Amino acid sequence: MPPTRRTATVEFVRGSVRGTRRRALATLPSLFTLANMLCGFGAILVSIRGDHGLASVLIGLSVLFDITDGAVARLVGAVTPFGLQFDSLADLVSFGLAPALVAFTLFSEGRDEWDPLGWVVCFLWVACAAIRLARFNTTIDPTADKRYFTGLPSPGAAGVVLASVAAFGEQMHGRDRLWVLLVLAVPALLMVSTVRFRSFRSLVSPRSGKPYGMIALALVLVVGFALEPATTGLVLAYGYLFSPVLVPVLAPLGRLLPARLKEALS
């Protein structure tokens, strides 16, 4: 049948609705990216007034939003070049500038002889974070193993800083504060290294359709953060930091597990 004005109008409305839905789905990941940036910006503001505990919590939320925006983008099929660049800019704020400023405001006691050293190390962190993000955007290899990152991911590096600050930030006196620079320098250099770290995507996306291991891990983390947040954060952050060394050492122990248990946890 030839199209009538009514059928043409109906098809136009349906097409508009579908287009609106597609645009809404495409925008959804960017909202999580924007939340990531907002938390990083908030961490900068509160660290200036000396509230390092709240700053650490906000950076932790940035890590959560950063993991979520990628998962949402893949779920709704909205992985775009714009989303990739926007995510990197947000990460530079949340995992580049924010941790560096949190650490410096914790380290600095005013204009003293140690401040220039703090400037150098904090700038090293920002520079390495920027290089890490730029390298990730420009060296996307379709044949590369998607389970691994080359270099420490910036959210993982930021996690080391926020966990350390949350656990020990209030215990520093005098020259003990120099450890803050070490906490910055080591993850910063690992960000631009060629050491392989397990991808967050593979950690939160189980290979089988039975994500029992992931559910068990999530429950353990929830209980841990509820009862001992500082200790849980340290174990999680430093466990990931040292995972390239720990995994090969502990891997042989996995062979001792029963086959059914390994299948359930996979």
Q: Over the chain, what HEC string results? A: CCCCHHHHHHHHHHHHHHHHHHHHHHHHHHHHHHHHHHHHHHHHHHHHCCCHHHHHHHHHHHHHHHHHHHHHHHHHCCCCHHHHHHHHHHHHHHHHHHHHHHHHHHHCCCCCCCHHHHHHHHHHHHHHHHHHHHHHHHCCCCCCCCCEEECCCHHHHHHHHHHHHHHHHHHCCHHHHHHHHHHHHHHHHHHCCCCEEECHHHHHCCCCCCCHHHHHHHHHHHHHHHHCHHHHHHHHHHHHHCHHHHHHHHHHHHCCCCHHHHHHHC
Cβ atoms 212, 264 nearer than 8 A:
yes
Alpha-carbon distances of 186 from 16, 84, 96, 111, rounded to whole Å? 52, 26, 14, 25
Torsion of CA 68, 261, 237, 153, to 10 degrees: -50
Q: What is the mean pLDDT of the chain?
A: 78
Q: How confident is the model at residue 73 (pLDDT cuts 50, 70, 90)?
A: confident
Burial class (CB in 10 A: 0-12, 13-18, 19+), 63: buried
Assigned CATH class of 22-199: mainly alpha
Is the predicted pLDDT of residue 250 greater than 60, yes or no?
Answer: yes
Extents of the domains making up the chain: 22-199, 206-266
Is the predicted pLDDT of residue 211 greater than 60, yes or no?
Answer: no
Is the predicted pLDDT of residue 181 greater than 70, yes or no?
Answer: yes
Is the predicted pLDDT of residue 94 greater than 70, yes or no?
Answer: yes
Q: How confident is the model at residue 28 (pLDDT cuts 50, 70, 90)?
A: confident
